[in-house]
Amino acid sequence: MDQHEAYQWLRERLIGPVTGGAARTVATALSADLARLVNRDPPFDPWGWADRIENYRFETGYPDAIFISADGRLVGTWIMGNDYRVKSQFYGGYPATYLERVRALFRDKQRTLHLFSGHVDLEKFPGDTVDISLAAESVHTSGSRHYADDAHTLEDVPLDRYDLVLADPPYSVEDAEHYQTSMVKRNKVLVALARLPAGAHVVWLDQVLPMWRKDTFDLIGVVGIVKSTNHRFRVMNVFRRK
């Protein structure tokens, strides 16, 4: 029996098909302990896509629309519907329900960084924030930390402390003009994000698949986002630090 088989064997017997909020929290902790017990390498993800999708269904109740493809990636489409509630009214703000969905997929994460944060709703998804234009106070009322920093370098941001990054850059030159910034060089941002610890996830919403170095990240998910008529399609790209 190799390490992976040992992990699966123990997991099935000790955890099984756990459901319910509190039970899931216990299962997550146990799962991480199990991974350590059988000496998995640190990048090993105690929560695979199957667990994440199960928790997404359990927490949101949205219809089945995300799946594991034959190559192990998360694929699917979220049709958000005709809901224009972007609470902040900020140009390019996350579509209603996006944060709720991503949070349910990554419920196990301990420290989140919102990159290109704009006016992200921290009640819906707590975390620290980074934005170049919003030289806000360095601490939000919620206690989260704000970094007024450039995503191309992230010099002031202690990236090794985060296990999840949500990124929502301007998608085009025209969009960037709205924020009075220059267009983002996506590949440079992903080079900066290589300072994340192994196993950290980057959930990158965009109209383009950013270029990344294959020795630093794996692309492990691609989910299409449809808002409503006359809105642009977007894609949630999910990377995992190797």
Ligand X SMILES: C[S@@+](CC[C@H](N)C(=O)[O-])C[C@H]1O[C@@H](n2cnc3c(N)ncnc32)[C@H](O)[C@@H]1O
Residue 226 backbone dihedrals phi, psi, to 5 degrees: -110, 120
179 binds ligand X (CB under 6 A): yes
Q: Taking CB under 6 A as the criterion, which residues in 129-148 touch ligand X?
A: 130-133
Torsion angle (degrees, nearest 10) of CA 39, 45, 49, 55: 100
Among 26-34, 149-157, 212-220, 233-241, the segment contacting ligand X (CB under 6 A):
149-157
CB contact at 8 A, 127 and 166: yes
49 binds ligand X (CB under 6 A): no
CB of 94 to ligand X, least distance (A): 4
Among 25-33, 48-56, 117-125, 214-222, the segment contacting ligand X (CB under 6 A):
117-125
CB of 74 to ligand X, least distance (A): 20
Among 21-29, 68-76, 164-172, 229-237, the segment contacting ligand X (CB under 6 A):
164-172
Residue 224 backbone dihedrals phi, psi, to 5 degrees: -75, 140
Interacting residue with ligand X among 7, 49, 56, 116 (CB under 6 A): 116
Interacting residue with ligand X among 94, 147, 162, 239 (CB under 6 A): 94
Nearer to ligand X, 35 or 189 (CB): 189
CB of 99 to ligand X, least distance (A): 8
Residue 178 to residue 166: CA distance in whole angstroms: 20
CB of 181 to ligand X, least distance (A): 4
Residue 7 backbone dihedrals phi, psi, to 5 degrees: -60, -45
Residue 202 backbone dihedrals phi, psi, to 5 degrees: -120, 120
Among 10-18, 52-60, 89-97, 105-113, the segment contacting ligand X (CB under 6 A):
89-97
Question: Which residue intervals of the chain are DSSP H helices?
Answer: 3-14, 21-37, 49-60, 98-105, 173-178, 186-192
Tell me the chain's radius of gyration from C-alpha atoms: 18
Residue 199 to residue 44: CA distance in whole angstroms: 7
CA 184 to the chain's CA centroid: 19
Report the Cα–Cα distance between both ends of the chain, in Å, rounded: 24
Interacting residue with ligand X among 53, 125, 163, 170 (CB under 6 A): 170
Interacting residue with ligand X among 120, 165, 196, 203 (CB under 6 A): 120
Nearer to ligand X, 34 or 193 (CB): 193
CB atoms within 10 A of CB 170: 20
Binding positions for ligand X, rule: CB under 6 A? 88, 90, 92-94, 116, 118-120, 130-133, 150-152, 168-170, 179, 181, 184
